[in-house]
Amino acid sequence: FRDHYPWARMNASREVKSVELPNCKLIKGIETGAEDLEILHNGLAFISTGLRYPGIKSFEPDKPGKILLMDLNEEDPTVLELKMTGSNFDASSFNPHGISTFTDEDNTVYLLVVSHPDFKSTVELFKFQEEEKSLLHLKTIKHELLPNLNDLVAVGREHFYATNDHYFVDHYMRSWELYLGLAWSNVVYYSPDDVRVVASGFDFANGISMSPDSKYVYIAELLAHKIHVYEKHANWTLTPLKSLDCNTLVDNISVDPVTGDLWVGCHPNGMKIFSYDPENPPGSEVLQIQNILTEEPKVTVVYAEDGKVLHGSTVASVHKGKMLVGTVFHKALYCEL
C-alpha cells in the first residue's frame, strides 16, 4: 500500500532531514499563514494571510484574510496590515491565496490576488497606494476557465497566467480527483479580451512564476513533485521545454530578479498538510534552483525542518541577503542569509 498512488504522491513516508539557518526568527503578527508573498525591487514585500481552503487547517476560520506589508530595508522589519478601499469590494469575504504584482511604466504598482469568497475563485485587482499604506480595489475578475484558482503571475495590469489546481468544482468530486491522481488541472492565460487554456495535464498545478527576461514560465506540479519550464511566445502561448524532479511537494515559486534563481516553498510530507495533527505537524523545506535552463540545474535545500518551527512552508523569496518563508495556515520566518 505504501507504493499506492496517493500515498506515494503525498510523499507520506518521507522524514525531514534538518537543514538549519543561523539567523532566522518568526515574524511577529503572522499567526494564520503567509500562503504567498512577493517582494518588489525596492524591498517592500506583500504577504497574503488568512487563507481558508477546503480540507486544510485554519486557525481563524471565521475571519477574513488580509494583505500585509513588510519593508525589508528596515533594521528589524515588522508587518503592517494594508487597508483596503473601494466601493464594490467586500472585505468580509476576502480569502487570499496566490498573489502577483505588476509595475507600470509610471511605477504604479498593481497587486493581483487570487481570492476564494464563499470558496469560489476570483482575481481581485488592486492599486497600491504607498503613501496611504492602502490598496484601492479596482475590479473583480471571474471567468468559467478560472474555476479553481491557486496562483497567478501578472504580465500586465489585467493580464496574467493562472493555475487551476483542480478540474472539478464540486468538493466530493475534487477529493476523488485528488485520490485517483487525475492529472486534469491546467494553466490559463487571461486578458480582458482573450482567455484560454495554455497548458494542461497537471496533477495539482500550483505555483507559477516567470523568468526575469519574461521568456520562460515556471509551473509547480505539486503532486508530481516537478517544476516545469515553458517557453512563452509573443501570442501568449506556452511550449513545454523541460521538467525538473524535486522529490518534494513543490508549492509556490519565487524568482530572484537579479540571478534568475528559483526559490521554492515545499512540503516534504504532503500527507501531514492534508491531515493536520498538531502533535505531528507538517514540516517545511525551501529549495534554491540555480541554472534551471541548463542540462544540470543545481538544486540546494537551503532550509528544512520537521514542523517544530514552521508548519507547511508554501513560499520563499529573497531580497539582498534576506529571505522570507511563508506557510499555508501557520507562521512566517524572516532570515538573514
The binding site for Ca(2+) consists of 35-36, 99, 150-151, 206, 251-252
Q: Active site includes 97?
A: yes
Furthest C-alpha separation in the chain: 57
Helix (H) or strand (E) holding 9: helix 5-9
Nearest-CA neighbor of 243 among 230, 253, 231, 228? 228
Do the strands 216-221 and 238-245 form a parallel or antiparallel pair, or are they unpaired? Answer: unpaired
Task: Report the length, in residues, of the chain.
Answer: 337
In eight-state DSSP terms, residue 179 is H
In 3D, which of 101, 42, 18, 72 has the Cα closest to residue 337?
Answer: 72
- Based on its alpha-carbon atoms, the radius of gyration of the chain, rounded to whole angstroms, reads 18
* Residue 225 DSSP symbol: T
Gap between the Cα atoms of 147 and 36, Å rounded: 19
User: Exactly one of 97, 267, 311, 330 is catalytic; which is it?
Assistant: 97
Binding residues, as ranges, are 35-36, 99, 150-151, 206, 251-252
The residues annotated with a catalytic role in the active site are 97
